[in-house]
Amino acid sequence: METIATRAKAARKHAKLTQRQAEAASGVKQSSISKIERGDTTRTMGLLALARIYGADPHWLDTGDGPAPWDPVQIRPAQNSANEPAAVYRVVRVPPEVPCFAPGTPDTVPLISWPQAANWDKAGKQAADAARWIPCIAHHSPETYALRVRGDSMISSSGELKNYPEESIIFIDTQLRKPEDGERVIAQLEDGDDITFKTYKEDDGRRWLLPLNPKHEPIRAAFTVLGTVIGKWEDED
């Protein structure tokens, strides 16, 4: 099988899954699965998740090298130098189950939920309840966490501004609570305690929160800055 598209479709069929079922099991959107199988995209982070549910070697799915899911299990001869008996052996480059990093691993931060972010200080920063720990290459304080973006309010209609599509990951340093005009922040509205991700604006003593998407209205109600966004991660697909 010469392409990722043909291998991906064949592996899904072998696993007896529809595209909808593959989406539910892997978290990869059906539209992305369809793009892969049509050959509209060649490199995607979704391949790892799809390989896991298809029971396929990600290296084979990506390059065509190695055993296909329907190939006989490979048997490795004994390694005499280690006195190792022959055994079932197959290279599977599948990432470990989440969390991928042990809590507190250097240069990683907890990926938490929005309700956790709302109670970050009140709950004593209970990062142990994080969904997983992920790398953050930006310089950050120990009080930094990550969130998945909700909604479309931070998607810009202008190609000159950064976009923050839904499900992309942003990194928030909670020690940075005095942002400059134009920086992205996580803020808590004082009326209702809602948490929001917006652009911080300040002019002549006035403060407000500005969405990048012009379909959403600016927020001029009183708010408290909980942290400043120092970076983001976005999958290719």
Q: What's the chain look like in SS3?
A: CCCHHHHHHHHHHHCCCCHHHHHHHHCCCHHHHHHHHHCCCCCCCHHHHHHHHHCCCHHHHHHCCCCCCCCCCCEECCEHHHCECCEECCCCCCCCCCCCCCCCCCCEEEECCHHHHHCCCCCCCCHHHCCEEEECCCCCCCCEEEEECCCCCCCCCCCCCCCCCCCCEEEEECCCCCCCCCCEEEEEECCCCCEEEEEEEEECCEEEEECCCCCCCCECCCEEEEEEEEEEECCCC
Position 81 scores a pLDDT of: 46
Instruction: Report whether 184 contacts 229 (CB < 8 A).
Output: yes
Please, which residues have CB within 8 angstroms of residue 27's CB and are 6 or more apart in sequence?
49
Position 163 scores a pLDDT of: 87
Question: Which CATH number applies to 4-72: 3.90.950.20, 1.10.260.40, 3.40.50.300, 3.20.20.60?
Answer: 1.10.260.40
Position 100 scores a pLDDT of: 62
0.85 exceeded by the pTM?
Answer: no
Position 55 scores a pLDDT of: 85
Q: What is the mean pLDDT of each run of 10 residues along the chain (237 residues)?
A: 84 90 85 86 72 83 80 50 48 50 84 88 64 87 92 83 88 94 94 89 93 93 94 79
**123 vs 137: CA distance, rounded Å:** 26
Position 1 scores a pLDDT of: 61
Instruction: Report whether 118 contacts 188 (CB < 8 A).
Output: yes
Q: Where are the domains of the chain?
A: 4-72, 108-233
Position 128 scores a pLDDT of: 58
At 130, list the tokens.
């994080």
Position 93 scores a pLDDT of: 45
Q: Which class is 108-233 in CATH?
A: mainly beta
Residue 163 CA: distances (Å) to CA of 130, 151, 166, 182:
25, 12, 10, 14
